[in-house]
Amino acid sequence: MEKQLTLAEIQDFKGKYPKQLWFLFLVEMWERFCFYGMRGVLTIFMADKMLGLSLSDKDANLKYGAIQAFVYAFTFIGGIFADKVLGFKKSLFFGAIVMIAGNLIIVASPQHFFYLGITLSIVGTGFFKPNISSMVGELYKEGDPRRDAGFGLFYSGINIGALLGGAVCVYLGTSPDYGWGYAFLSAAIVMIIGLVTFMFTKKTLGPIGDSPLLHLSPTKRTTKEIMVYAGSVISIPLIFIMIKNTDYTDYFMYTIGPLAILYFLFETLKEKDHKSRMKLIAAFIFILFSIIFWAFFEQSGGSLALFAKDNLHHNLLFFDINPNIVNNTSNSLFVIIFSPLLGLLWLAMEKKKIEPNTVVKFGIGFLFLALAFYTFYYTRFFADVQGLTSLNIFTLAYLVITFGELALSPIGLSIMTKLSPKRLGGMMMGMWFLASAYGQYAAGILGAGMSSPDDNATLMVKLQGYTEGYKQLAIYALIAGVVMILLSPLIRKLMQEVK
Ligand code: GLN
């Protein structure tokens, strides 16, 4: 039998990336295929009058927002159970099984079992998503300067999966030769590939992600684990009801955030080491700022999708292309191209001792966000009399927003793993994603505020409304970036030795 690697042996890797990162990259890539594949077909399936759920556009949008918010909110719960009972590996395994079950249930009859299946997807993603990122963090020793670049690479995997999943599932779901069942089936198959990849490679992770209860007797440990599994199953009808009735989403969002903050305070006060406590507060500040970032960024699934549908010409450089395809794919494509390059840039800057610290990188992320929304605003100056404007400028804005995302999102994952004590790693990663849940939620509200209340408004009026909204977002993003950079000395004090 092969000898199990120790943590020190894993973390003492040579070269730029540890080999285990590639395995986690692949597993996460398949999971994101499944997730973004589902996300891509969700709204159109719900609104499909013939073979879908025949919801009105408005209801389909509301439900889409609710499902997205729930998915990310459950990462907080999944993170806590991983820390306290299951450990990352078992959490991941359980989450993957539940996600596969969810997809297969929908395949059986999309029109009948959709809500049940999607409920399982929510629970499954909650156990899966935060914990795989936490394991990436554990591949690195404290202070290893290669960590950010590692998360950058991991982030490319996320986006390769997102791009493929979005394309394949939407194609299958909307094709007259296949249909919705095939879209969900492909997501299930791909998730099985992800799970099998994990099962075959998890031994290379050595002790990373093992149960936190190894000191207990196996019987006691198993009892606790079974309680978590059983608790998750029991919660399914409750989540099912909340998804079916979107009014409950508001109550849920009003409750989960304050509860999360209370729990965070409880754990922070329980933390005996003063330095660790300060680091947790710094992590919390990053999380708060990220809510603003996602609320703006996630216009892509809402108002920018409508803007793309109504107000853009169909020519990109020398091609004729549907602007919604550009809206759905350009961000992932730019991440895949630029994330590794940016990772190498950070490493090169680190060697020259000129790498910006994490707080400043976050601030830069907001500055790019501001520039991107200013560019979305600027499309109004290229509009013709009908209110149609340039897809080229729109795509340029996506390039700029991607740089903002790359300066904030992978770095955010990385900093969560640097600032969290080991016993709270899953919870803090879950909180990071909980911020995304609030971002998604706020994005819908912001987007609704920008859209014209009159369904028969001219394209010009719609263009004015959206671009004016984007200008406002640009200003707020700029303010957030400047505040972050001004606060950087204070936040860095809280971060102690962490860079
Ligand atoms: N696109 C990234 C992912 O899917 C970030 C998502 C988020 O945090 N909102 O992991």
State pLDDT tens for residues 8-61: 999 999 998 999 999 999 999 999 999 999 988 888 899 888 899 998 877 887
Ligand 1 nearest atom to the CA of residue 297, by list position: 9
- Structure tokens belonging to residue 29: 């890539």
By CB atoms closer than 10 A (0-12, 13-18, 19+), residue 6 is exposed
Min mean pLDDT across 3-7, 410-414, 425-429, 472-476 is at: 3-7
In a domain, 2, yes or no: no
Q: Where are the alpha helices (DSSP H) in 245-298?
A: 247-270, 274-297
Return the pLDDT at 457.
Answer: 84
In a domain, 313, yes or no: yes
Q: Which residue minimizes the CA distance to atom 5 of ligand 1?
A: 409
CA gap 134, 151 in Å, rounded: 10
Query: What is the domain extent for residue 314?
Result: 18-494
pLDDT tens profile 99-125: 999 999 999 999 999 999 999 999 999
Tell me if residue 178 falls in helix, strand or coil: coil
Ligand 1 nearest atom to the CA of residue 433, by list position: 8
**Max CA separation in the chain (angstroms):** 74
Q: Is 104 in the pocket of ligand 1 (CB under 6 A)?
A: no
pLDDT band at 1 (very low <50, low <70, confident <90, very high): low
Interval between CA 375 and ligand 1 midpoint (Å): 23
DSSP line for 366-412: HHHHHHHHHHHHHGGGG--TTS-B-HHHHHHHHHHHHHHHHHHHHHH
CA gap 390, 392 in Å, rounded: 5
Q: Is 114 in the pocket of ligand 1 (CB under 6 A)?
A: no
Q: Is 154 in the pocket of ligand 1 (CB under 6 A)?
A: no
pLDDT tens profile 372-398: 999 999 999 999 999 999 999 999 999
Interval between CA 219 and ligand 1 midpoint (Å): 37
Q: What sign does the CA torsion over 190, 193, 195, 197 have?
A: negative
Ligand 1 nearest atom to the CA of residue 129, by list position: 10
CB atoms within 10 A of CB 54: 13
CB atoms within 10 A of CB 251: 11
In a domain, 385, yes or no: yes
pLDDT tens profile 400-441: 999 999 999 999 999 999 999 999 999 999 999 999 999 988
Return the pLDDT at 476.
Answer: 98
For residue 232, list its beta bridge partners.
Answer: none
Query: What are phi and psi for residue 312, nearest 5 degrees?
Result: -120, 145
- Structure tokens belonging to residue 159: 């986006």
In a domain, 212, yes or no: yes
In a domain, 378, yes or no: yes
The CATH number that applies at residue 121 is: 1.20.1250.20
Interval between CA 402 and ligand 1 midpoint (Å): 12
Return the pLDDT at 39.
Answer: 87
In a domain, 65, yes or no: yes
Q: Which residue minimizes the CA distance to atom 9 of ligand 1?
A: 436
Identify how many contiguous H helices and E strands the chain contains and give both numbers: 16, 2
Q: Which residue minimizes the CA distance to atom 4 of ligand 1?
A: 158
In a domain, 433, yes or no: yes
The number of distinct structural domains making up the chain is 1
Q: Is 466 in the pocket of ligand 1 (CB under 6 A)?
A: no
Q: Is 409 in the pocket of ligand 1 (CB under 6 A)?
A: yes
Tell me if residue 316 falls in helix, strand or coil: strand
Task: Give how far Cα 239 sits from Cα of 37, 117, 135, 229, 233, Å.
Answer: 21, 11, 28, 15, 10
Q: Is 158 in the pocket of ligand 1 (CB under 6 A)?
A: yes
In a domain, 392, yes or no: yes
